[in-house]
Structure 1
């Protein structure tokens, strides 16, 4: 009965509330054991189980993302689904837009317990469907269900961090989340490939649900300690807007593959829908970079899209123009992931980087420098080691800037807004990255016929231009008042 009434309320919510100053002040205080603690308490103190649970859930999401990329060629071959290959990556991202839109206000109103637990169960169900799929369409359904669960999990982790840990240690918890992505980058592809070779690709999916449920158990009690604000409401139309944006993201990705003759029409229509309704799912002014929280979100989306845009083509260039193997080029991405963690660690532990705006500005400049690695890869006289070093600078910047922007988002959000704002940030990231990758794909394919390296120069130039916009935005990011 309680579960049913909760979802009915999701549909009936009409708008996010305004709180009195007294209420806002009270909500800023963490409801869990989130008082400042001395250094060294993070893993061994009373919240050690929570930190471990956050790490485990983030690790599983990261592992699945990397593992799927490793085994998808085998999956597509066995299920005869090569024509649907791109959808296996686009579907989870698109469906995640809808679940994140639901997750934010749901968690703000009722606390994260129901949504996070439901998200882990849905994620696990999607893994089982994908692992047991007998055809590619069924596999895609499983991938979409995974995306539905991931949306709830990703927003929930931000809410747990914001409501459990004091602002003085949030940067360190974000470093833990970052490390949860680095480890899969180091061992995920090899482990997934080994599992596929030894027992079959299906176990890459079927082995994960048990671990996911065990990870949920680590934060079970922490979820119960976080209350919601019954005054929080959601406009029912936001669900339909999210569905339209999800369709737009999916269509943009499909158009970028140019698999149908009418892809230009699909691309334009998808862009119109996405750009019209996307801004309605994020805090007002986010896509214009207005001061405060909107600028934090805009900066993060620009930097993330720029980095992903460059990351897509740098390894390909090293293979085609420098003669590296795919494994050797992949080491470049691994080095970037390691330095990403290093940047996050430095942001959380080095006193000279105590200023959050300073960390964002330094990180953004590093990301811009990192995008130059793509141009250097096109120059035969530049050693590959130099290309790797420059790319590593970009990874360092991403770790420093994105973890800090995550902290700033929580700083700028009252307790009853952390779910909605975290969801808005992640929706903005997903849309920005999808748009840049799709446009880059079209640009690359068209210009590659002009010259062998012209396409690379243009897509890398696009990534660098977006990074430069991110730097300009970062220079105006400010700490939360008070």
Structure 2
């Protein structure tokens, strides 16, 4: 059946599309909601000293879930891994909702991270296998919108639930969404087949993923100890243990921006990390430096999410109109606009509400262009690695890089303040680091076309 006269919500794709969107929304809402309710969790469970591990454990487990499942998908297909990932995430939610101490909560976050990383990798795989090239821009645009929408409502809704009932109901409330998602999407997942690409059994990749997780953990702990000598030592050790497995797990040349698939992943990881980290530090600047209320800061950041959603929808139409010929240029323009948006809020002393909103809208347009299309281009260039590995690489770029960059940004603030600089000056330095990442992403985006 030709897909020329069908859309992602036509009868052929309806159940899978809705199931994918619901699963992405559930993961996105849970992740952003925890940011709001984490202080209440730590207070109720008498675990303020372990507060940071609520987030770090999730990130570290997500690395394992993302990288290991990609190899499994290329050998056995996505149905079984997706089922296991759903169960892990659901068990993690139940454990969090019933947690009696902080250690159980941290363990539940590990299960959630494993499940979320594997689940999103399976979703990317289903998109590549189920939808023809001309529909991928549209479903990936919907994917992005489903992930962004929780950023507009998630923290606020979670805050209301925690204030009027209990933070535990935030975890309980996500369960029905996942059940509906599984009901709709699992039948479609079971029909998906992959061609076994051979290669290793996956054990070496698993060990590399574990080594990367360990290195990342040491690196993040070291960042939290800066500017002490112990902090510098741990950061150095962690960095070494991160670089070696990254060179093995990612396509060769990703760290040096090699043309083709490596440049696509580098472009995506750099611009997504810069965008995510900028959002966090802009909120801090607006609240602690400019004196804006948290709710006002949230609305300003939501303006980027709104423009992202609009452009993510429109770019699917543009991709169909030019039959994909303008994809590389749209990625380049998107990253350039994202750089413009970050540059507008870079100089914290002159940032006002109006300037912040303008910068956020432009940044949202930029990432709304670049993020979905970079996924489409990656799948169009998928070769011997297999669709599962490409899916894992895309999810890895969306999770690992932002987590590390936010940690680096936080250490920049700490070091600047330890050196006698004001919070305002430290934020300018952190924003400058984000601009550097964007410049590197712009360079990488000029190399996404494979060598002829």
Query: How far apart, CA to CA, are the structure 1 residues paired with 2:12 and 2:330?
Result: 29
Question: In structure 1, what is the equivalent of residue 328 of structure 2?
Answer: 357
Q: Which runs of 5+ in 1 are unaligned?
A: 1-32
CA deviation map 1:366-420 (0-9, x unaligned): 11111113324321xx542122111221121111101110111111114971111
User: 66, 77, 96: which one pairs with 2:32?
Assistant: 66
Query: How far apart, CA to CA, are the structure 1 residues paired with 2:129 and 2:90?
Result: 25
Question: Bigger CA drift: 339-348 or 456-465?
Answer: 339-348
Question: Bigger CA drift: 392-401 or 414-423?
Answer: 414-423
Query: How far apart, CA to CA, are the structure 1 residues paired with 2:385 and 2:253?
Result: 20
Query: How far apart, CA to CA, are the structure 2 residues paired with 1:400 and 1:374?
Result: 20
CA contact (8 A) 2:259 2:451 kept: no
Q: CA deviation at 1:266?
A: 1.7
Q: Residue 119 and residue 480 in structure 1: after superposition, are their counterparts in 2 closer, same or farther (change >3 A)?
A: farther
What TM-score do you get using the length of structure 2 for normalisation? 0.93
User: 421, 424, 439: which one pairs with 1:451?
Assistant: 421
User: 88, 93, 111: which one pairs with 1:145?
Assistant: 111
What TM-score do you get using the length of structure 1 for normalisation? 0.88
Matched, 1:155 2:121: yes
Query: How far apart, CA to CA, are the structure 2 residues paired with 1:377 and 1:342?
Result: 27
Matched, 1:274 2:242: yes
Question: In structure 2, what is the equivalent of residue 12 of structure 1?
Answer: none
Question: In structure 1, what is the equivalent of residue 163 of structure 2?
Answer: 197
Instruction: Give the number of aligned pairs.
Output: 445
Q: CA deviation at 1:199?
A: 2.5
User: 214, 224, 237: which one pairs with 1:247?
Assistant: 214
Query: How far apart, CA to CA, are the structure 2 residues paired with 1:364 and 1:447?
Result: 28
CA deviation map 1:314-358 (0-9, x unaligned): 111112222101111111211111111123223211346851001
Question: In structure 1, what is the equivalent of residue 364 of structure 2?
Answer: 395
Question: Bigger CA drift: 412-421 or 53-62?
Answer: 412-421
Matched, 1:466 2:432: no
Cα RMSD for the two superposed structures: 2.0
Query: How far apart, CA to CA, are the structure 1 residues paired with 2:45 and 2:87?
Result: 26
CA contact (8 A) 2:128 2:387 kept: yes
Q: Which runs of 5+ in 2 are unaligned?
A: none
Query: How far apart, CA to CA, are the structure 1 residues paired with 2:154 and 2:450?
Result: 36
Structure 1 counterpart SS, 2:134? coil
Q: CA deviation at 1:191?
A: 1.7
Matched, 1:372 2:306: no
CA contact (8 A) 2:197 2:386 kept: no
Q: After superposition, where does 1:333-352 map in structure 2 within 5 Å?
A: 333-350=301-318, 351=321
Question: In structure 1, what is the equivalent of residue 290 of structure 2?
Answer: 322
